[in-house]
Amino acid sequence: MHGARRGYEVVGMKTVAAVLHEQGKPWDIVEIDLDGPKDHEVLVRFHAAGLCHSDEHVRSGDSRGRVPMVGGHEGAGIVEAVGNGVDRVAVGDHVVCSFIPVCGTCRYCQTGRSSLCNKGLNAGIGCLPDGTFRFHENGQDIGGLCCLGTFSERAVLSEWSVTKVPEDVPFDVAALVGCGVTTGWGSAVYASGVRAGETVVVVGIGGVGINAVQGARMAGARDVIAVDLVPFKLEMAAKLGATHTFGDYDEVREAVKELTWGQGADHVILTVGVMTREVVDFGIELTGKGGTVTITGIPVMGDMTIVQNSAAITGWQKRIQGTIFGSANPLYDIPRLLGLYKAGDLKLDELITRRYQLEQINQGYQDMLDGKNIRGVVIFDA
Ligand SMILES: NC(=O)c1ccc[n+]([C@@H]2O[C@H](COP(=O)([O-])OP(=O)(O)OC[C@H]3O[C@@H](n4cnc5c(N)ncnc54)[C@H](O)[C@@H]3O)[C@@H](O)[C@H]2O)c1
Ligand SMILES: [Zn+2]
Ligand SMILES: [Zn+2]
Protein backbone atom coordinates (compact mmCIF):
# COMPACT_ATOMS: atom_id res chain seq x y z
CA MET A 1 0.00 0.00 0.00
CA HIS A 2 1.47 3.33 -1.05
CA GLY A 3 -1.09 5.57 0.56
CA ALA A 4 -2.97 5.02 -2.66
CA ARG A 5 -6.64 5.57 -3.22
CA ARG A 6 -8.18 2.12 -3.48
CA GLY A 7 -10.00 1.05 -6.61
CA TYR A 8 -13.41 0.61 -5.00
CA GLU A 9 -13.52 4.34 -4.29
CA VAL A 10 -13.40 5.08 -8.01
CA VAL A 11 -16.74 3.91 -9.33
CA GLY A 12 -16.60 5.17 -12.89
CA MET A 13 -16.46 8.37 -14.85
CA LYS A 14 -16.73 9.95 -18.28
CA THR A 15 -13.79 10.48 -20.59
CA VAL A 16 -13.42 12.08 -24.01
CA ALA A 17 -11.67 9.78 -26.48
CA ALA A 18 -10.92 9.22 -30.17
CA VAL A 19 -12.93 6.11 -31.02
CA LEU A 20 -12.87 4.08 -34.22
CA HIS A 21 -16.42 2.85 -34.81
CA GLU A 22 -15.76 1.39 -38.25
CA GLN A 23 -12.50 0.57 -40.04
CA GLY A 24 -11.93 2.85 -43.01
CA LYS A 25 -13.76 5.75 -41.29
CA PRO A 26 -12.14 8.65 -39.37
CA TRP A 27 -11.63 8.74 -35.61
CA ASP A 28 -14.72 10.04 -33.79
CA ILE A 29 -14.25 12.29 -30.77
CA VAL A 30 -16.87 11.20 -28.27
CA GLU A 31 -17.55 11.13 -24.56
CA ILE A 32 -17.63 7.55 -23.28
CA ASP A 33 -17.88 5.75 -19.96
CA LEU A 34 -14.85 4.50 -18.09
CA ASP A 35 -14.98 2.04 -15.20
CA GLY A 36 -12.77 2.47 -12.16
CA PRO A 37 -9.71 0.23 -11.83
CA LYS A 38 -10.15 -3.37 -10.67
CA ASP A 39 -7.50 -5.48 -8.97
CA HIS A 40 -4.02 -4.95 -10.45
CA GLU A 41 -5.27 -2.04 -12.60
CA VAL A 42 -4.52 1.66 -12.61
CA LEU A 43 -6.39 4.78 -13.68
CA VAL A 44 -4.13 7.01 -15.76
CA ARG A 45 -4.77 10.65 -16.68
CA PHE A 46 -2.95 11.13 -19.97
CA HIS A 47 -0.99 14.28 -20.74
CA ALA A 48 0.34 13.30 -24.16
CA ALA A 49 -0.17 10.62 -26.81
CA GLY A 50 1.94 9.98 -29.92
CA LEU A 51 0.51 9.38 -33.38
CA CYS A 52 2.16 6.12 -34.49
CA HIS A 53 1.46 4.62 -37.90
CA SER A 54 0.19 1.39 -36.31
CA ASP A 55 -3.03 3.13 -35.19
CA GLU A 56 -3.48 4.28 -38.77
CA HIS A 57 -3.12 0.66 -39.93
CA VAL A 58 -6.04 -0.26 -37.70
CA ARG A 59 -8.09 2.77 -38.74
CA SER A 60 -7.59 2.15 -42.45
CA GLY A 61 -8.16 -1.60 -42.18
CA ASP A 62 -4.56 -2.53 -43.14
CA SER A 63 -4.46 -4.38 -39.82
CA ARG A 64 -7.15 -6.41 -38.12
CA GLY A 65 -8.79 -4.70 -35.17
CA ARG A 66 -11.98 -5.12 -33.19
CA VAL A 67 -14.27 -2.08 -33.22
CA PRO A 68 -15.29 0.06 -31.51
CA MET A 69 -11.79 0.80 -30.33
CA VAL A 70 -10.17 3.73 -28.55
CA GLY A 71 -6.94 4.34 -30.48
CA GLY A 72 -3.51 5.16 -29.22
CA HIS A 73 -0.68 3.08 -27.83
CA GLU A 74 1.96 5.77 -27.17
CA GLY A 75 1.02 7.63 -24.01
CA ALA A 76 2.35 9.27 -20.87
CA GLY A 77 0.51 10.59 -17.86
CA ILE A 78 -0.05 10.39 -14.12
CA VAL A 79 -1.56 7.57 -12.07
CA GLU A 80 -4.72 8.92 -10.43
CA ALA A 81 -5.95 5.79 -8.69
CA VAL A 82 -4.97 2.16 -8.26
CA GLY A 83 -6.96 -1.01 -7.72
CA ASN A 84 -6.22 -3.58 -5.06
CA GLY A 85 -2.90 -5.36 -5.23
CA VAL A 86 -1.10 -2.86 -7.47
CA ASP A 87 2.58 -2.71 -6.56
CA ARG A 88 4.41 -1.56 -9.69
CA VAL A 89 3.22 2.04 -9.43
CA ALA A 90 1.43 4.32 -6.97
CA VAL A 91 -0.92 7.29 -7.16
CA GLY A 92 0.96 10.35 -8.41
CA ASP A 93 3.59 8.39 -10.33
CA HIS A 94 4.45 9.58 -13.82
CA VAL A 95 4.13 6.65 -16.20
CA VAL A 96 4.75 5.73 -19.82
CA CYS A 97 2.62 3.04 -21.43
CA SER A 98 4.17 -0.05 -22.90
CA PHE A 99 2.28 -1.29 -25.96
CA ILE A 100 3.13 -4.83 -24.90
CA PRO A 101 2.20 -5.65 -21.31
CA VAL A 102 4.98 -7.15 -19.20
CA CYS A 103 3.52 -9.85 -16.95
CA GLY A 104 6.92 -10.83 -15.58
CA THR A 105 6.09 -14.52 -15.31
CA CYS A 106 5.53 -15.97 -18.80
CA ARG A 107 8.40 -17.84 -20.49
CA TYR A 108 9.31 -14.77 -22.59
CA CYS A 109 9.35 -12.31 -19.68
CA GLN A 110 11.31 -14.87 -17.68
CA THR A 111 13.96 -15.15 -20.37
CA GLY A 112 14.59 -11.44 -20.90
CA ARG A 113 12.33 -11.12 -23.94
CA SER A 114 9.40 -9.24 -22.50
CA SER A 115 8.55 -7.62 -25.85
CA LEU A 116 7.14 -11.09 -26.58
CA CYS A 117 5.09 -11.29 -23.37
CA ASN A 118 2.19 -13.69 -23.79
CA LYS A 119 -0.15 -11.03 -22.41
CA GLY A 120 0.33 -9.04 -25.61
CA LEU A 121 -2.13 -11.32 -27.37
CA ASN A 122 -5.16 -9.03 -27.00
CA ALA A 123 -3.60 -5.99 -28.72
CA GLY A 124 -6.10 -5.93 -31.58
CA ILE A 125 -9.09 -6.70 -29.36
CA GLY A 126 -8.14 -4.09 -26.82
CA CYS A 127 -9.47 -5.78 -23.70
CA LEU A 128 -7.52 -5.91 -20.48
CA PRO A 129 -5.53 -9.07 -19.67
CA ASP A 130 -8.56 -10.58 -17.86
CA GLY A 131 -10.55 -10.40 -21.11
CA THR A 132 -12.96 -7.62 -20.04
CA PHE A 133 -13.31 -3.97 -21.06
CA ARG A 134 -13.21 -0.70 -19.09
CA PHE A 135 -14.39 1.68 -21.83
CA HIS A 136 -18.11 1.58 -22.72
CA GLU A 137 -20.47 3.56 -24.94
CA ASN A 138 -24.23 3.18 -24.58
CA GLY A 139 -23.63 -0.08 -22.77
CA GLN A 140 -21.37 -1.49 -25.51
CA ASP A 141 -17.79 -2.59 -24.66
CA ILE A 142 -15.06 -0.54 -26.31
CA GLY A 143 -11.47 -1.78 -26.56
CA GLY A 144 -8.29 0.23 -26.15
CA LEU A 145 -5.65 -0.48 -28.78
CA CYS A 146 -2.85 -2.68 -27.41
CA CYS A 147 -4.80 -2.94 -24.12
CA LEU A 148 -4.20 0.83 -23.77
CA GLY A 149 -6.24 3.45 -25.63
CA THR A 150 -4.09 6.53 -25.10
CA PHE A 151 -6.27 8.74 -27.33
CA SER A 152 -8.41 9.35 -24.26
CA GLU A 153 -8.18 11.82 -21.38
CA ARG A 154 -8.17 8.86 -19.02
CA ALA A 155 -7.89 5.10 -19.26
CA VAL A 156 -7.83 2.12 -16.95
CA LEU A 157 -4.85 -0.11 -17.66
CA SER A 158 -3.29 -3.24 -16.32
CA GLU A 159 -0.34 -2.42 -14.07
CA TRP A 160 1.60 -4.64 -16.52
CA SER A 161 1.12 -1.95 -19.19
CA VAL A 162 2.76 0.97 -17.37
CA THR A 163 6.33 1.88 -16.50
CA LYS A 164 7.23 4.48 -13.90
CA VAL A 165 9.45 7.26 -15.26
CA PRO A 166 11.20 10.27 -13.69
CA GLU A 167 8.96 13.28 -13.08
CA ASP A 168 11.24 15.77 -14.78
CA VAL A 169 10.85 14.22 -18.24
CA PRO A 170 8.26 16.12 -20.32
CA PHE A 171 5.15 14.04 -21.07
CA ASP A 172 5.27 14.59 -24.82
CA VAL A 173 8.73 13.09 -25.31
CA ALA A 174 8.06 10.41 -22.70
CA ALA A 175 4.99 9.23 -24.63
CA LEU A 176 7.08 8.47 -27.72
CA VAL A 177 9.30 6.07 -25.80
CA GLY A 178 6.23 3.86 -25.32
CA CYS A 179 6.52 2.74 -28.95
CA GLY A 180 8.26 4.63 -31.76
CA VAL A 181 11.52 5.53 -30.04
CA THR A 182 12.13 2.17 -28.41
CA THR A 183 11.00 0.24 -31.47
CA GLY A 184 13.34 2.11 -33.80
CA TRP A 185 16.32 2.29 -31.45
CA GLY A 186 15.93 -1.38 -30.52
CA SER A 187 15.56 -2.41 -34.17
CA ALA A 188 19.15 -1.22 -34.61
CA VAL A 189 20.72 -1.93 -31.22
CA TYR A 190 18.98 -5.15 -30.19
CA ALA A 191 17.34 -6.81 -33.19
CA SER A 192 20.09 -6.04 -35.71
CA GLY A 193 22.84 -5.95 -33.11
CA VAL A 194 24.69 -3.11 -34.86
CA ARG A 195 28.37 -2.94 -33.92
CA ALA A 196 31.13 -0.38 -34.24
CA GLY A 197 32.30 0.26 -37.78
CA GLU A 198 29.37 -1.34 -39.59
CA THR A 199 27.30 -0.09 -42.51
CA VAL A 200 23.59 0.25 -41.76
CA VAL A 201 20.74 1.25 -44.06
CA VAL A 202 17.41 2.45 -42.62
CA VAL A 203 14.52 2.59 -45.10
CA GLY A 204 11.60 4.81 -43.98
CA ILE A 205 12.31 7.76 -41.68
CA GLY A 206 9.18 8.27 -39.61
CA GLY A 207 8.78 8.18 -35.85
CA VAL A 208 10.23 4.67 -35.83
CA GLY A 209 12.95 4.88 -38.49
CA ILE A 210 14.49 8.11 -37.17
CA ASN A 211 15.23 6.23 -33.96
CA ALA A 212 16.78 3.32 -35.83
CA VAL A 213 19.11 5.99 -37.24
CA GLN A 214 19.86 7.24 -33.72
CA GLY A 215 20.36 3.69 -32.42
CA ALA A 216 22.69 2.71 -35.25
CA ARG A 217 24.76 5.84 -34.68
CA MET A 218 24.93 5.25 -30.95
CA ALA A 219 25.97 1.61 -31.46
CA GLY A 220 28.94 2.90 -33.45
CA ALA A 221 28.00 2.28 -37.07
CA ARG A 222 30.43 3.89 -39.48
CA ASP A 223 27.82 4.49 -42.16
CA VAL A 224 24.19 5.21 -41.34
CA ILE A 225 22.36 5.52 -44.64
CA ALA A 226 18.84 6.94 -44.35
CA VAL A 227 16.36 6.39 -47.17
CA ASP A 228 13.00 8.11 -47.57
CA LEU A 229 10.94 9.60 -50.38
CA VAL A 230 10.34 12.89 -48.51
CA PRO A 231 13.21 15.44 -48.44
CA PHE A 232 12.23 16.81 -44.98
CA LYS A 233 12.64 13.31 -43.51
CA LEU A 234 16.15 13.09 -44.93
CA GLU A 235 17.08 16.49 -43.48
CA MET A 236 15.97 15.29 -40.06
CA ALA A 237 17.88 12.03 -40.46
CA ALA A 238 21.05 13.97 -41.27
CA LYS A 239 20.56 16.10 -38.15
CA LEU A 240 20.11 13.05 -35.93
CA GLY A 241 23.00 10.92 -37.07
CA ALA A 242 22.66 9.73 -40.66
CA THR A 243 25.95 9.94 -42.54
CA HIS A 244 24.27 9.64 -45.95
CA THR A 245 20.70 10.31 -47.10
CA PHE A 246 18.94 9.30 -50.33
CA GLY A 247 15.52 9.55 -51.86
CA ASP A 248 16.33 7.27 -54.78
CA TYR A 249 16.88 3.52 -54.52
CA ASP A 250 19.49 3.39 -57.29
CA GLU A 251 21.58 5.98 -55.46
CA VAL A 252 21.38 3.81 -52.36
CA ARG A 253 22.54 0.75 -54.32
CA GLU A 254 25.48 2.72 -55.66
CA ALA A 255 26.43 4.20 -52.28
CA VAL A 256 26.30 0.84 -50.47
CA LYS A 257 28.49 -0.67 -53.18
CA GLU A 258 31.05 2.12 -52.87
CA LEU A 259 31.06 2.37 -49.09
CA THR A 260 31.44 -1.37 -48.55
CA TRP A 261 33.80 -2.10 -51.49
CA GLY A 262 31.07 -4.21 -53.01
CA GLN A 263 30.41 -6.33 -49.95
CA GLY A 264 26.92 -5.01 -49.14
CA ALA A 265 25.41 -3.59 -45.98
CA ASP A 266 25.86 -5.27 -42.61
CA HIS A 267 22.30 -4.40 -41.61
CA VAL A 268 19.22 -3.12 -43.38
CA ILE A 269 16.33 -1.96 -41.19
CA LEU A 270 12.94 -1.58 -42.86
CA THR A 271 10.69 0.98 -41.16
CA VAL A 272 8.46 2.23 -44.00
CA GLY A 273 4.88 3.13 -43.14
CA VAL A 274 3.33 0.26 -45.13
CA MET A 275 5.66 -2.69 -45.78
CA THR A 276 5.68 -3.94 -49.37
CA ARG A 277 7.38 -6.69 -51.32
CA GLU A 278 9.40 -4.04 -53.18
CA VAL A 279 10.87 -2.73 -49.92
CA VAL A 280 11.64 -6.22 -48.56
CA ASP A 281 13.30 -7.23 -51.85
CA PHE A 282 15.36 -4.03 -51.75
CA GLY A 283 16.46 -4.76 -48.17
CA ILE A 284 17.53 -8.31 -49.00
CA GLU A 285 19.36 -7.08 -52.11
CA LEU A 286 21.35 -4.45 -50.18
CA THR A 287 22.46 -6.88 -47.47
CA GLY A 288 25.88 -8.44 -47.71
CA LYS A 289 27.17 -11.85 -46.56
CA GLY A 290 26.25 -12.63 -42.97
CA GLY A 291 24.11 -9.48 -42.84
CA THR A 292 20.67 -8.95 -41.36
CA VAL A 293 17.44 -7.59 -42.74
CA THR A 294 15.15 -6.43 -39.95
CA ILE A 295 11.49 -5.96 -40.83
CA THR A 296 9.87 -3.55 -38.38
CA GLY A 297 7.20 -1.92 -40.57
CA ILE A 298 3.82 -3.58 -40.99
CA PRO A 299 2.21 -4.56 -44.33
CA VAL A 300 -1.41 -4.57 -45.42
CA MET A 301 -3.05 -7.66 -43.98
CA GLY A 302 -2.75 -10.59 -46.39
CA ASP A 303 -0.13 -8.99 -48.68
CA MET A 304 2.74 -11.35 -49.56
CA THR A 305 5.84 -9.29 -48.78
CA ILE A 306 8.57 -11.95 -48.50
CA VAL A 307 8.74 -13.68 -51.86
CA GLN A 308 12.27 -14.80 -52.75
CA ASN A 309 14.27 -17.68 -54.04
CA SER A 310 16.26 -18.59 -50.94
CA ALA A 311 19.51 -19.83 -52.56
CA ALA A 312 21.38 -16.54 -52.11
CA ILE A 313 19.96 -16.11 -48.62
CA THR A 314 21.37 -19.53 -47.74
CA GLY A 315 24.66 -19.17 -49.56
CA TRP A 316 25.29 -15.66 -48.26
CA GLN A 317 23.98 -16.60 -44.85
CA LYS A 318 21.62 -13.63 -44.68
CA ARG A 319 19.26 -13.34 -41.76
CA ILE A 320 15.76 -11.99 -42.35
CA GLN A 321 13.92 -11.27 -39.14
CA GLY A 322 11.00 -9.43 -37.66
CA THR A 323 11.04 -7.40 -34.47
CA ILE A 324 8.32 -6.23 -32.14
CA PHE A 325 9.04 -3.23 -29.88
CA GLY A 326 12.62 -3.34 -31.17
CA SER A 327 13.12 -6.57 -29.17
CA ALA A 328 13.49 -4.28 -26.15
CA ASN A 329 12.40 -4.97 -22.58
CA PRO A 330 9.93 -2.18 -21.73
CA LEU A 331 10.50 -1.99 -17.97
CA TYR A 332 14.25 -1.74 -18.50
CA ASP A 333 14.50 0.15 -21.76
CA ILE A 334 11.86 2.86 -21.36
CA PRO A 335 13.63 4.45 -18.35
CA ARG A 336 17.01 3.70 -19.94
CA LEU A 337 16.20 5.58 -23.15
CA LEU A 338 14.80 8.49 -21.14
CA GLY A 339 18.12 8.51 -19.28
CA LEU A 340 19.96 8.75 -22.59
CA TYR A 341 17.65 11.63 -23.50
CA LYS A 342 18.47 13.43 -20.25
CA ALA A 343 22.16 12.90 -20.89
CA GLY A 344 21.74 14.55 -24.31
CA ASP A 345 22.70 11.40 -26.24
CA LEU A 346 19.25 10.55 -27.58
CA LYS A 347 17.34 13.36 -29.26
CA LEU A 348 13.63 13.32 -28.50
CA ASP A 349 12.48 16.96 -28.52
CA GLU A 350 13.45 17.12 -32.18
CA LEU A 351 11.12 14.23 -33.07
CA ILE A 352 7.96 16.19 -32.29
CA THR A 353 7.10 18.12 -35.42
CA ARG A 354 3.56 19.18 -34.49
CA ARG A 355 1.29 19.14 -31.47
CA TYR A 356 -2.49 18.67 -31.70
CA GLN A 357 -5.59 18.82 -29.56
CA LEU A 358 -7.43 15.49 -29.43
CA GLU A 359 -10.13 17.02 -31.67
CA GLN A 360 -7.49 17.49 -34.39
CA ILE A 361 -6.42 13.86 -34.47
CA ASN A 362 -7.61 13.15 -38.02
CA GLN A 363 -5.63 16.17 -39.20
CA GLY A 364 -2.64 14.84 -37.29
CA TYR A 365 -2.81 11.53 -39.13
CA GLN A 366 -3.31 13.28 -42.46
CA ASP A 367 -0.13 15.27 -41.76
CA MET A 368 1.69 11.98 -41.04
CA LEU A 369 0.49 10.48 -44.32
CA ASP A 370 1.46 13.67 -46.16
CA GLY A 371 5.02 13.32 -44.88
CA LYS A 372 4.86 16.49 -42.77
CA ASN A 373 5.68 14.96 -39.39
CA ILE A 374 8.44 12.92 -37.88
CA ARG A 375 5.94 12.52 -35.04
CA GLY A 376 2.73 14.31 -34.23
CA VAL A 377 1.68 14.34 -30.58
CA VAL A 378 -1.72 14.93 -29.00
CA ILE A 379 -1.53 17.14 -25.93
CA PHE A 380 -4.34 16.86 -23.38
CA ASP A 381 -5.12 20.09 -21.60
CA ALA A 382 -4.52 19.82 -17.89
N1 LIG B 1 7.31 -3.78 -35.17
C2 LIG B 1 6.87 -2.94 -34.27
O3 LIG B 1 6.95 -3.18 -33.06
C4 LIG B 1 6.31 -1.63 -34.70
C5 LIG B 1 6.12 -0.61 -33.75
C6 LIG B 1 5.70 0.63 -34.22
C7 LIG B 1 5.41 0.83 -35.54
N8 LIG B 1 5.55 -0.19 -36.40
C9 LIG B 1 5.33 -0.01 -37.84
O10 LIG B 1 6.49 0.61 -38.35
C11 LIG B 1 6.14 1.36 -39.51
C12 LIG B 1 6.66 2.78 -39.38
O13 LIG B 1 5.91 3.46 -38.39
P14 LIG B 1 6.02 5.06 -38.25
O15 LIG B 1 5.10 5.44 -37.17
O16 LIG B 1 7.44 5.45 -38.22
O17 LIG B 1 5.39 5.51 -39.66
P18 LIG B 1 5.51 6.93 -40.42
O19 LIG B 1 4.37 6.98 -41.36
O20 LIG B 1 5.70 8.01 -39.42
O21 LIG B 1 6.89 6.81 -41.22
C22 LIG B 1 7.05 5.99 -42.35
C23 LIG B 1 8.09 6.62 -43.26
O24 LIG B 1 8.32 5.74 -44.37
C25 LIG B 1 8.48 6.53 -45.54
N26 LIG B 1 8.20 5.66 -46.69
C27 LIG B 1 7.00 5.17 -47.07
N28 LIG B 1 7.16 4.36 -48.14
C29 LIG B 1 8.50 4.34 -48.42
C30 LIG B 1 9.29 3.67 -49.39
N31 LIG B 1 8.75 2.85 -50.29
N32 LIG B 1 10.63 3.88 -49.38
C33 LIG B 1 11.20 4.71 -48.47
N34 LIG B 1 10.49 5.36 -47.51
C35 LIG B 1 9.15 5.17 -47.50
C36 LIG B 1 7.49 7.67 -45.34
O37 LIG B 1 7.84 8.79 -46.14
C38 LIG B 1 7.65 7.95 -43.86
O39 LIG B 1 8.67 8.91 -43.62
C40 LIG B 1 4.62 1.24 -39.63
O41 LIG B 1 4.31 0.16 -40.49
C42 LIG B 1 4.21 0.92 -38.23
O43 LIG B 1 2.96 0.28 -38.17
C44 LIG B 1 6.00 -1.41 -36.02
ZN1 LIG C 1 3.48 2.21 -32.41
ZN1 LIG D 1 5.02 -12.06 -19.86
CATH number, domain of 281, equals 3.40.50.720
Q: What separation in Å is there between the alpha carbon of 113 and the centre of ligand 3?
A: 8
Q: Is 186 in the pocket of ligand 1 (CB under 6 A)?
A: no
Question: Are residues 273 and 149 both part of a single domain?
Answer: no
Question: Are residues 20 and 161 both part of a single domain?
Answer: yes
- Within a domain: 131: yes
Question: Are residues 264 and 220 both part of a single domain?
Answer: yes
Task: Please count the structural domains in the chain.
Answer: 2
CATH number at residue 158: 3.90.180.10
- Within a domain: 336: no
- Within a domain: 343: no
- Within a domain: 333: no
From the list 19, 262, 242, the residue with the least C-alpha distance to 141 is: 19
Atom of ligand 1 nearest to the CA of 369: 19
Question: Are residues 316 and 188 both part of a single domain?
Answer: yes
- pLDDT attached to residue 382: 61
Question: Are residues 204 and 301 both part of a single domain?
Answer: yes
Catalytically annotated residues:
52, 54, 57, 73, 179
From the list 49, 45, 34, the residue with the least C-alpha distance to 78 is: 45
Distance CA 119, CA 316 (A): 37
- pLDDT attached to residue 10: 74
The residue among 323, 338, 364 that closes a domain is 323
Written as one letter, the residue type at 361 is I
Q: Which of 114, 182, 192, 228 to mutate to test the pocket of ligand 1 (most atoms within 8 A of CB)?
A: 228
Question: Are residues 214 and 231 both part of a single domain?
Answer: yes
Question: Are residues 163 and 238 both part of a single domain?
Answer: no
- pLDDT attached to residue 307: 96
Question: Are residues 169 and 84 both part of a single domain?
Answer: yes
From the list 326, 330, 353, 365, the residue with the least C-alpha distance to 232 is: 353
From the list 113, 21, 73, 86, the residue with the least C-alpha distance to 331 is: 113
Q: What separation in Å is there between the alpha carbon of 299 and the centre of ligand 1?
A: 10
- Within a domain: 76: yes
Question: Are residues 366 and 245 both part of a single domain?
Answer: no
- Within a domain: 73: yes
- Within a domain: 328: no
- Within a domain: 332: no
Question: Are residues 93 and 147 both part of a single domain?
Answer: yes
Question: Are residues 80 and 172 both part of a single domain?
Answer: yes
pLDDT in tens, the chain (382 residues): 343 445 445 779 999 999 999 999 999 999 999 999 999 999 999 999 999 999 999 999 999 999 999 999 999 999 999 999 999 999 999 999 999 999 999 999 999 999 999 999 999 999 999 999 999 999 999 999 999 999 999 999 999 999 999 999 999 999 999 999 999 999 999 999 999 999 999 999 999 999 999 999 999 999 999 999 999 999 999 999 999 999 999 999 999 999 999 999 999 999 999 999 999 999 999 999 999 999 999 999 999 999 999 999 999 999 999 999 999 999 999 999 999 999 999 999 999 999 999 999 999 999 999 999 999 999 998 6
Query: Which residues constitute the domain of residue 74?
Result: 7-177+348-379
- pLDDT attached to residue 9: 59
Question: Are residues 14 and 143 both part of a single domain?
Answer: yes
Q: To which H or E segment does residue 81 belong?
A: strand 74-82
- According to DSSP, residue 299 is labeled B
